[in-house]
Structure 1
Amino acid sequence: MPQRTNNGFGLVRRGLAPALALAFTLALALMFMAESAQAASLSSSRADRRAARNEAKTQAEEVPLTPETFSHKLVLDGQAGSVLSFTLPEAVHKGLELTTFQDLCVFDADGTPVPFQLRAPQGTNQRLEVEKELPYFMWQPEKPGAGTPGTMDIEINAKGGIVRIKGQTDDLAKPGPVSYLLDMQAFFDAASSPVSRGGLAFADDDLRERAIKVLLAGDEPFMVSVTMKTSADLDSWTSIGRPQMLVRTRQGDVTLERDTLVLPGTAKRYLLLQFADSDVPIFSFAARAVFDKTTHEVRETIVPGTLSENKRQIGYTLPGRFPVTAIGFDLAQAEMMAVRLSGADDPEKPYAQRASGFIYRLERDGVTVTGEPFPVTQSNRYWRLSAAGDIPFAAAPGMRVYWQPRELLFLARGKGPWTLAFGRQTAVQASALPMLGQSDVQTAREIASPPTDTGATTPAVAKKEESREWVLWAVLILAVVFLSGVTVWLVRSMKK
Structure 2
Amino acid sequence: MRRLNLLLVLALLTAHTLADPRPEDFAYSYTIKTPTGSAIYELPIPEAIYAKVVQADLSDIAVFNADNETVPHAFLRAIQPEPVIPAPVTLPLFPVAATQAQLTQGLTLKLLTDFSDAVIELQQQNTNPSSVVNSYIVDISKRTSTIKSLQVVWQPGKITTVTQIRVETSDDLSHWRKLVSGATLAQLRYAGNTFIRDTIEIPREQGKYLKIHWPAGSDGALIQSVRAQFYAGKNTPTWQHNIYPGKPADDAQSFGFDYEIPAYLPIRQIRVNLEQTNSLLQGRIYSRSAPDQAWHLRHRGLHYRLQFPVTDLDSPMAGQQHRLLLPAAVLDSPAINVPLTTDRFWRVEYDRDRSSLGSDIPALEFGWQTDPLVFLARGKAPFTLAYGSARVKTRQAPVARLLDDIKQAFATLPVTYASLGEAHPPGSSAVLLPQPPPLPWRNWLLWASLIGAVLVLAILAWRLHRQIKGRE
TM-score by length of 2: 0.49
Larger radius of gyration: 1
Greater helix fraction, Structure 1 or Structure 2? 1
